A and B are shown apart, each in its own frame.
Chain A
Amino acid sequence: MADPAPPILRFENVSVVFDDVTALSKVSFEARQGESRVILGEAGSGKTVLLKAALGLVKPTSGKVYVFGRDLTTMRERELFEIRSKIGMLFQESALFDSLTIEENVAYPLQNQKSISCPPDQVRPRVEEALKFVELGGTLAKFPSELSGGMRRRAAIARTVVTNPPLTLYDSPTAGLDPITAYTIMELLIKARDVAQTTTLLVTYRYQDGNLVANFRYNSEQGRLERAHNGDLGNPRTTFMALRQGSLIFEGDQHSLEASADPYVNKFVKKHS
């Protein structure tokens, strides 16, 4: 199945250097429409920096980042706002605004993103819809500090997907959560991906998360995840990447990931029994 469409996201030899730390070193890859990418790597390997570079929050020291075919590295901050309005980002620690209620947090992108221009009377219904999507209705008036870690993560997901962005980036969405909450979060991400056919980048160090993304899809009739049949939503749609000290040392599907002989890559693969 040849795909002639241009990539949604494309990194070309991207390096990011802070003072004396090399956070990314010559990373190149591209993500196509509808593709899921699972990014593995140990702490400090540059996963967060990679996602921030895709948003233009971090400027590459060298190399190019293309999003929807446009080169971010030459754009000024004000021009970047338009591109960013088409990207949803879930930050590692949720990054909800403490001084705003959950409702105001989720409404924030609708009211502030350039080129979203949501009519004022549509804001509230869309916020409610997004919060219902993450099964968090009834918390509108609460502040982030009044919610549990898992609920905050879900509210942040609502803020990420409320604008229906065609590209979504999730930074360690399951980190620090118990297995059941983590599964719920993954279910939401896969639901968001499959309902809107978005291109998704997922940073994680739990292999189970990657496995879910690669092999499961959301069944909207039953309202839960189901195993995808081979070829239907098979491996070509999900690509695994492994970062090590800023370098992309592995890129490929689940089979080649599990077959890899590299001990670093192997560390992330837990054979599910």
Chain B
Amino acid sequence: MLDLLKGPVLTVQDFFILTGTAVRNIFRSPHYSDDIVLQMDAIGVGSMPIVVLTGFFSGAVMALQMSRALAQYGQVGRTGMIVAISLVRELGPDLTALMVAGRTSSGIASELGSMKVTEQIDAMRALGTDPIQKLVTPRLVAAAVMLPLLTIIADFVGIFAGWVISVFFLNVTTRQYWSSAWRALVWNDVAQGLVKPFVFAFVVALIGCFYGLRTTGGTQGVGRSTTQAMVTASVLIFVLTYFITQIFLYASSAQM
């Protein structure tokens, strides 16, 4: 039994060591700012299209579904509120992170994994660079900046999509929609909506790096790491969103 647990415990421990080193490196020289910019472009700008699309359609589908439920109480006018709350608190951060995990975590894992199996990581160390400083830290910083921004974009696009549906299909007026959406949001929602993507950025960037750097066994191993990174990152996003929601609920009820 203890032997069975040893593997996973060591893996988690290694992950936290990588996290610690990557974070500490932010404050140590040398700083590879070129790599940060490059990664911001790859993670942020590269993910824009899928984030906009998922944001739009999740907002639209939320409006359609919720308006039916609200109609039973004669409250279709509150569609804006439901769309705004569910997007800003939950769907925006989660779906954005999932999309970026699918694209970025797996991309990072396969890139670093190929570098590992072709000895480029060893070559880096042999030639005077710390691979964590050069490869992991820039990806972490880029994700931590870009994921909250992408989430904000997804939130806005989704709320906009909800407006399109409401006005054209649900006979809700523009004014009704926006005022109920706007009034629904409180500081707690926005905080939650920004803390989540920030935490998910660590998951997306570091899980990708972690599995990439652990790759062994040639090209087959790269494929394995890529899948593992994507699956682990996605599952962690769901687990973490639950806990963050709990913490925020607890904090807001304690305030009252």
Contact = CB atoms under 8 A, between A and B. Distances in A.
Q: Decide whether A and B assemble into one complex.
A: yes
Interface of A: 52, 55, 57, 77-78, 81, 84-85, 87, 89, 91-93, 95-98, 108-109, 112-114, 116, 159
Looking at chain A's contact residues, is the secondary structure mostly helix, strand, loop, or mixed?
mixed
B217 to A, nearest CB: 13
B128 A95 contact: no
Interface in B108-145: 114-115, 118-120, 122-130
A97 B123 contact: yes
Contacts of B125: 57, 77, 84
A57 B118 contact: no
Given A81-B128, A109-B128, A112-B129, A52 B122 contact: yes
A85 B119 contact: no
Interface of B: 114-115, 118-120, 122-130
Contact of B126 (A55, A78, A116): A55
A95 B120 contact: yes
B129 A95 contact: no
Contacts of B126: 55, 57, 84, 87, 89, 91
27 contacts: A52-B122, A77-B125, A77-B130, A78-B130, A81-B128, A84-B127, A85-B128, A89-B123, A89-B126, A91-B119, A91-B122, A91-B126, A95-B122, A96-B123, A97-B120, A98-B114, A98-B115, A108-B127, A109-B127, A109-B128, A112-B127, A112-B128, A113-B127, A113-B128, A114-B128, A116-B128, A159-B127
A147 to B, nearest CB: 15
A85 B233 CA distance: 37
Contacts of A116: 128
A61 B120 CA distance: 23
A98 B118 CA distance: 10
Contacts of B124: 97
Contacts of A52: 122
A80 to B, nearest CB: 8
B119 A93 contact: yes
Contacts of A84: 125-128
Contacts of B118: 93, 95, 98
Contacts of B122: 52, 57, 91, 95
Looking at chain B's contact residues, is the secondary structure mostly helix, strand, loop, or mixed?
helix
B130 A95 contact: no
A52 B126 CA distance: 9
Nearest to A169: B126
Nearest to A93: B118
Contacts of A81: 128
B4 to A, nearest CB: 16
Given A96-B120, A98-B120, A109-B128, 20 more contacts: A55-B126, A57-B122, A78-B130, A84-B125, A84-B126, A84-B127, A85-B128, A89-B123, A89-B126, A91-B126, A93-B119, A95-B118, A97-B120, A97-B123, A108-B127, A112-B128, A112-B129, A113-B127, A114-B128, A159-B127
Most chain A CB inside 10 Å of its own CB: which residue of B114, B122, B123, B125: B123
Nearest to B126: A89
Contacts of A87: 126
B63 to A, nearest CB: 43
Nearest to B28: A78
B129 to A, nearest CB: 5
A81 B131 CA distance: 12
Contacts of A93: 118-119
Pairs of residues from A and B, 6 with the lowest C-beta to C-beta distance, nearest first:
A95-B123, A113-B128, A95-B119, A112-B128, A91-B119, A109-B127
A249 B127 CA distance: 31
Contacts of A77: 125, 130
A52 B122 CA distance: 9
B13 to A, nearest CB: 16
A238 B27 CA distance: 48
A46 to B, nearest CB: 16
A78 B24 CA distance: 14
B218 to A, nearest CB: 11
A57 B119 CA distance: 11
A108 B125 CA distance: 12
A57 B123 CA distance: 9
Contacts of B130: 77-78
B83 to A, nearest CB: 42
A182 B3 CA distance: 48
Nearest to A81: B128
Contacts of A108: 127
Contacts of B128: 81, 84-85, 109, 112-114, 116
Nearest to A55: B126
A96 to B, nearest CB: 8
B18 to A, nearest CB: 14
Contacts of B119: 91-93, 95
A58 B153 CA distance: 45
